[in-house]
Amino acid sequence: MSAPSPGRRGFLGAAAGLAGAAIAPGVFLTEYAVAKAPGAPASKAVRWGLLVDATRCASGCDACVKACNTEHGLPEPKRPTDVQWIRKVELKDLRTGAALSAPVMCQHCAEPPCVDVCPTGASFKRADGIVMVDRHTCIGCRYCMMACPYKARSFVHEPVTGQKTDTPRGKGCVESCNLCVHRVDAGGTPACVESCASAGHHALVFGDLNDPDSEISKRIRAVATTQLRADLRTDNGVRYRGI
């Protein structure tokens, strides 16, 4: 192979310079942009969380479930195989007989078993703590459903119709509550939280667990709360009061 001619060398140098100039702004953008900007990555400075106040949650009310179904284009569940991202659970204390009601959804664990077991990495946790499923790499093995301690995941058993733009779905994939990530990224709150407030119960509080001044942080400092199956040490982003 012959040595590059001076002209060719000059061209290569100029090309490298141009390429560097073209890439540099992108590099700097990625490094310095704040997470709140559209298209920017989730920030690990934030830990999104949810407080479920079972003392305020009304038995028989399913406003949160309906809002979730509407927001994500999920059909009204009629059969046991229909998907449910959030469900109302009726509880009765075995010793005292006290009755409670509370919604259960993905607990957005800091140590999510579903993410550990997923063979392809389709189940993943964002830097801000939101646990999601990448519908392009989910192969539908359901190992995450075996691993989830909270029965929070649903497998899509049938062809999907009426999809929403913000919630891509597909038969043969696993899905679960994503804390309405499209709303959160736009500065909003999850649909279930909004609907609970509209129904006048205010049993759901959403916010940044890392921000000591957020409403959720203030509430969990003021009242005793717990994480479901705290013995498993999955460090859930969803906390419960009254259970």
Partner 1 sequence: MPRAFEDRPAALWPVLAAGAIVLAAALGAAHYMEIHGHVVTGMGHEVVWGLPHVFAIFLIVAASGALNVASVGSVFGEKAYKPHAPLSALLAVAMLAGGLMVLVLDLGRPERLVVAATHYNFRSVFAWNMILYNGFFALVAAYLWVSLERRFAGWTGPVGTAAFAWRIVLTTGTGSIFGFLVARPGYASGVIAPLFIALSLAWGLAAFLLAQAALGFAGAAPLPEAFRLRLRRLLGVFVAAAAWLMAIYHATNLYWAKQSAFERFILVDGAPYPFLFWAGFGIVGTGIPLLLAFHPRFAGPRSTLVAAGAVVAGAFAQLYVFIVGGQAFPLEIFPGYAVSSAFGDGAVAAYAPSLPEFLLGLGGLALAALLAVVGARAFDVLPAATGAAGD
Contact residues toward partner 1 (CB under 8 A) are 77, 79-81, 84, 87-95, 100, 104, 113, 115-122, 136-143, 145-151, 153-159, 170-174, 228-229, 232, 243
Kindly state the smallest distance separating residue 95's Cβ from partner 1, in Å.
7
Nearer to partner 1, 150 or 206 (CB): 150
**Is-contact 228 238, C-beta < 8 A?**
yes
Q: How far is the CB of 218 from partner 1 (least distance, A)?
A: 26
Q: Which of 53, 48, 218 is nearest to 125 (CA)?
A: 48
User: Which residues pair with residue 123 across a beta bridge?
Assistant: 133
Task: Report in angstroms how near the CB of residue 17 gets to partner 1 at its nearest.
Answer: 35
Cβ–Cβ < 8 Å for 89, 103: yes
| Shortest Cβ 182–partner 1 spacing (Å) | 23
Query: Min. distance of Cβ 96 from partner 1 in angstroms?
Result: 10
Taking the least distance from each CB to partner 1, the nearer of 14 and 89 is 89
Q: How far is the CB of 172 from partner 1 (least distance, A)?
A: 3
Cβ 177 to partner 1, closest distance in Å?
13
CA distance 158 to 155: 9
Q: Distances from the Cα of 104 to the Cαs of 18, 62, 150, 171, 188, in angstroms?
A: 54, 12, 8, 23, 21
- 62 φ/ψ angles, rounded to the nearest 5 degrees: -130, 35
Q: In which element (H, E) is residue 124 found?
A: strand 123-125
Please, are residues 204 and 60 in contact by the beta-carbon 8 Å criterion?
Answer: no
Residue placing its CB nearer to partner 1 in the complex, 9 or 142? 142
User: Structure tokens of 58?
Assistant: 């009304």
* CB contact at 8 A, 144 and 117: yes
Residue 130's SS3 state is coil
Looking at beta carbons only, is 164 or 229 nearer to partner 1? 229
Nearer to partner 1, 136 or 164 (CB): 136
- Beta carbon nearer to partner 1, 138 or 220: 138
Q: Are 102 and 50 in contact (CB under 8 A)?
A: no
Nearer to partner 1, 46 or 83 (CB): 83
**Residues 221, 216: Cα–Cα separation, whole Å:** 9
